[in-house]
Amino acid sequence: MSQVIDEVKKNSKAPLPIEPYDKEWGVGISGMTPDPSPFPRINRILEKTERTTNGFVSADRAELVTKAYKDHPGESQEVKCAYGIKYVLEQTPLFIYDDELIVGGLGCDKKGAPVHPEFGLNWVLDEMRDGLMGYSEERTHDYFTFTEDTQKRLEALRDFWDGHTVNDMVQTLVNDDVLKGSHDGKGVFFSDAYIYCGAGHLGLDYERLFKLGFGGIRKLIQDQMAKIDLSDPEQMKRNNFYRAALIANEGSINHIKRYAKMLAEKAATTEDPVRKGELEQMAANCDWISENPPRTFWEALQLVHLANCMILIECSGHSISYGCFDRYMYPYYKHDIETGTATREQMQELIENFYIKIWDLNKLRSHISVRTFGNGGIGGPCMTVGGLDENGHDMTNDLTYMVLDAHAHVRVPNPWLAVRVSDETPYELKIKTANTIRMGTGEPKIFNDDVTIPSMLTSNVKLEDARNYQVCGCVEPDVSGKTDGWHDAGHMNMAKVLELAINDGRCLHCGPSCQRWEKCGKLGKRLGPQTGDLAKMTSFDEVLDSFDKQMHYWCDQMVTLLNAVDMAHQAIRPLPFLSTIMDGCIERGVDVTKGGTDYNFTGPQGIGLGTTGDGLSTIKQLVFDEKKVTGRELLDAVEDNWIGHEPLYMLVNSDKVHHYGNDDDYADDLTKFAMDEYCRYIEHRPNAHGGFFQPGMYTVTVNVAHGNLQWASVDGRTAFEPVSDCMGAVHTHCCSHDVNGPLAICKSVTKMDHARATNGTLLNWKFSPSAVSGEAGRDAFIALCEEYVKRKGMHSQFNIVSQDTLKKAQADPATYKDLLVRVAGYSAYFVELHKDLQDDIIGRTELEL
């Protein structure tokens, strides 16, 4: 294998390793060069890899699940679902590709997306019929092609599923008071994330899976069943769960055996002796791991990929994550090196192949959702490395570095990477991380152990579990394999709450153009409770008091709706396969959707933190402290969308007004107030699957969606502009409100109590490349991150690409089709994003020197 490296060094014009400890290759070897990997095989595979999430619709899964349900009409929902996954795993088409060393997919060809009718089939069929699924002006990216045959086969299933979906049940559980402010109404909050797909958002306990293997899991289920006393009704329920679990388990074993058989057949007809040998080994790997614990790094990695694919096949959930990869894989790495089973280079090549396999997977999304979540692919396959182990020691090892190198070598958007840092993190890892970030692809994100672990303890997570936390999906820390976290289940636009708080519960743009006019405004009603009118308020305390009451009210509505969705999942879509691999479900005899695993949360986010903070600050300063305008004048200006109030618009957007993000206590304290208010009415409220709610403080990209629904706001935002992103400062069409540079941002943002947002926080930084250039720039950047960590900021992500480059890419997408940038929570090909989102990224303040 060192021949490969020599070959690369000889042929490559790319820079050689740039750090002394990078003995073989550094991230510098890749940068933005063609053929970025040192492995010719990987470069060959990359050549055939689509740099897009456009795909096609596959009908097989939907048909097989439907057949399973029809074949077992009298069975309980759990058992029907178990037959569903079993049918798919045993019958869906499988694919093996040239050069590849890992197998596994979603039961269709690369970039294909299966359909999950359990969460609604009508929208899929309607979009196909109305031209909203394929390429059109409405859908210029993330579009899905389909054949006439596919459409016909799916159309034939329409009646079977109509009226039996999660959404149908949710509608029956709540009333209009709950829905009026939701995604179905005025969009104060959204709870639709899990109405049209599975909850996802979890990782597995890979160590448990490695220890037991699928055969061991089967035995565990059988042992539990043997103890059942059917005369006890509680045990009878558990018995039914075990029946379902056994069916699903059998399906998973057979699925892997199918691959083994197919690989062996392929090997038999392959002439090239090298490839023949590889295929034979892959067949042997699959055959063994179909029932037994893996023995080598290759087998373990193969099992990880297949297990995650099967979860995605069962349920269309987002953010099925890869846990702490460098922890659970390290024993295999060490074993292989020590026994000479594999070299470091061979394992590096496997990891790189594995990344591309993840990127090849795809998920069907509606034309609306891809506007704000563009280029996501399956979305959220996060892999975590580094950090403290269960004894509190830093566990960084070779694999930690190899995971970062692999990203530099393949540069595909998935998997997402998270590096955990603490006081104990070695400086070499910080340099490796900084250098990877400086490539500009937006990977990896940085998570702070010193905040996250204590934060998890407040959610009653055990210390040794908390120390092994993974980053799930975009932002959310949890214990892989032991948490059904319902992270990202919903989100609340705090800026809209402020609007209702200063306008007596009425929307500022109330009028006949509103879809709810007939039911609401026309009848003299208001969207929210009457809690005060800024024009009549005599002190700023009244503003805060009104905000508090509105926040309480809207949090109640959101929690109600999320619990309804939760109940619908339990009734309609139990997850028997997932339940076999999540900790505790078999022991308890309870499906994961019903709270079978150890930790059960629901995590909705607060949106528009900066917009809300700046709004409060503007009101306090201009109306009450300086009395430059009256409350009426300010409300009028916003109602008029600032037209005719230009000087006030400019003033509100200028640095003459206290703004969040400038290390200015005046605005920062009010922003903290807003965040605390949201957390207060979310945290520790009971949820429907046996756990409780956890607040988060990040937007990913829904700040664009919420902004699209909201009229102008007092912070100087015009109508329908995005609200502020994540924990970041405000940037409006007029200008950015943070003007004091990165140190001020670091200090402002860390005045918030990140640990209180137990579902996670996020700060997106954007640097111009020159701000982090050279050794001086690199070390200053590391110092800035260290300080953010020391000040108890939880999580940071970075975009290091100039505004100029982004604008050029927007104008000339063909030339910039490989430009990978950080969106929020994830990285994506910039030109594949919707223009609104592109503009939002361009608008974020670029930190310059």
Partner 1 sequence: MEHTNRDGQPVAIITDIQRYTIHDGPGIRTEFFFKGCPLSCPWCSNPETVRPYPEIGVYPTKCMGKQKCGWCLKECPLGNDSPIAFDSDDNLLPVIMRDECKGCYKCVDACPGGGLKLWGKSYTMDEMLKLANQDRSFYERTGGGVTVSGGDVMMQWEFAADFLRECHEQLHINTCMETEVLCPQEHLDAVLAHTDLAIFDIKHIDSAAHRKLCGVPNERILENIAHAAKIGTRIVIRTPVVPGYNDSEENIRGIASFIRDSIGGSLVQWQLLMFRKLGVEKLDSLGREYQMSDYEPPSSEDRQAQLEKLRDMVSSEYGIEVAVGSDGKLPL
- Nearest CB to partner 1, comparing residues 346 and 654: 654
Residue choice 708, 740, 803, 805 for contact with partner 1 (CB under 8 A): 740
Sequence-distant (6+) residues with CB within 8 A of 20 are none
Q: Is residue 19 a contact point for partner 1 (CB under 8 A)? A: no
Q: CB–CB of 319/488 below 8 Å?
A: yes
Q: Is residue 650 a contact point for partner 1 (CB under 8 A)? A: yes
Residue choice 245, 417, 648, 675 for contact with partner 1 (CB under 8 A): 648
- Nearest CB to partner 1, comparing residues 790 and 835: 790
Q: What is the largest CA-CA distance in the chain?
A: 86
Min separation Cβ 674 and partner 1, Å? 24
Min separation Cβ 713 and partner 1, Å? 18
Tell me which residues in 777-806 interact with partner 1 (CB under 8 A): 777, 779-780, 783-784, 786-787, 790
Q: CB–CB of 603/487 below 8 Å?
A: yes
Min separation Cβ 830 and partner 1, Å? 25
HSE-CB at 816 with a 13 A cutoff on CA atoms is: 21
Q: Is residue 847 a contact point for partner 1 (CB under 8 A)? A: yes
Q: Is residue 744 a contact point for partner 1 (CB under 8 A)? A: yes
Residue choice 200, 413, 606, 742 for contact with partner 1 (CB under 8 A): 742
- Nearest CB to partner 1, comparing residues 709 and 744: 744
Q: Is residue 647 a contact point for partner 1 (CB under 8 A)? A: yes
Query: What Rg do the C-alpha atoms of the chain give, in angstroms?
Result: 26
Q: CB–CB of 611/717 below 8 Å?
A: yes
Phi and psi of 487, rounded to 5°?
-65, 145
State how far the Cα of 529 lies from the Cα of 500, in Å rounded to an integer.
9
Instruction: State yes or no: is 382 an active-site residue.
Output: no
CA angle, residues 109, 114, 117, in degrees to nearest 5: 165
Q: Is the dihedral of CA 574, 381, 760, 833 positive or negative?
A: negative
**The two structure tokens encoding residue 454:** 């204590």
State how far the Cα of 70 lies from the Cα of 53, in Å rounded to an integer.
33
- Total residues binding partner 1 (CB under 8 A): 27
Instruction: State yes or no: is 746 an active-site residue.
Output: no
- Nearest CB to partner 1, comparing residues 31 and 741: 741
- Single out the catalytic residue among 476, 542, 721, 832: 476
Min separation Cβ 637 and partner 1, Å? 12
**The two structure tokens encoding residue 265:** 């057949």
- Single out the catalytic residue among 108, 309, 472, 474: 474
Distance of CA 263 to the CA centre of its chain: 33
Min separation Cβ 728 and partner 1, Å? 17
- Nearest CB to partner 1, comparing residues 96 and 743: 743
Q: Is residue 627 a contact point for partner 1 (CB under 8 A)? A: no
Letter string b/e over residues 128-162, b meaning 16 or more CB atoms within 10 A of that residue's CB: beeebbbeeeebbbbbbebeeebbebbeebeeebe
Q: Is residue 736 a contact point for partner 1 (CB under 8 A)? A: no
- Nearest CB to partner 1, comparing residues 23 and 790: 790
Q: What pairing do the DSSP bridges indicate for beta strands 144-145 and 55-58?
A: parallel
State how far the Cα of 24 lies from the Cα of 86, in Å rounded to an integer.
45
Q: Which range in 233-241, 398-406, 594-602, 647-655 contacts partner 1 by CB under 8 A?
A: 647-655
Phi and psi of 257, rounded to 5°?
-65, -35
CA angle, residues 768, 770, 771, in degrees to nearest 5: 70
- Nearest CB to partner 1, comparing residues 705 and 847: 847
DSSP category for residue 508: T
- Nearest CB to partner 1, comparing residues 674 and 847: 847
Min separation Cβ 638 and partner 1, Å? 16
Residue choice 134, 293, 741, 813 for contact with partner 1 (CB under 8 A): 741
Min separation Cβ 800 and partner 1, Å? 15
State how far the Cα of 29 lies from the Cα of 405, in Å rounded to an integer.
9
Q: How distant, in Å, are the alpha carbons of 218, 235, 765 from that of 740?
A: 60, 63, 14
Q: Which range in 117-125, 173-181, 412-420, 643-651 contacts partner 1 by CB under 8 A?
A: 643-651
Residue choice 656, 733, 807, 835 for contact with partner 1 (CB under 8 A): 656
3-class SS at 137? coil
Residue choice 16, 268, 643, 849 for contact with partner 1 (CB under 8 A): 849
Min separation Cβ 393 and partner 1, Å? 23
Burial (CB count within 10 angstroms: exposed 0-12, middle 13-18, buried 19+), residue 47: exposed
State how far the Cα of 465 lies from the Cα of 459, in Å rounded to an integer.
12
Q: Which range in 151-159, 199-207, 309-317, 737-745 contacts partner 1 by CB under 8 A?
A: 737-745
Q: Is residue 773 a contact point for partner 1 (CB under 8 A)? A: yes
- Nearest CB to partner 1, comparing residues 609 and 771: 771
**The two structure tokens encoding residue 748:** 């402002």
Q: Is residue 522 a contact point for partner 1 (CB under 8 A)? A: no
**The two structure tokens encoding residue 456:** 């998890």
Min separation Cβ 772 and partner 1, Å? 9
Q: CB–CB of 716/733 below 8 Å?
A: no
Residue choice 743, 816, 818, 839 for contact with partner 1 (CB under 8 A): 743
Min separation Cβ 782 and partner 1, Å? 9
Task: Write out the residues near partner 1 by the rule CB under 8 A.
Answer: 646-648, 650-651, 654, 656, 663, 740-744, 773-777, 779-780, 783-784, 786-787, 790, 847, 849
Active centre residues (catalytic): 474, 476
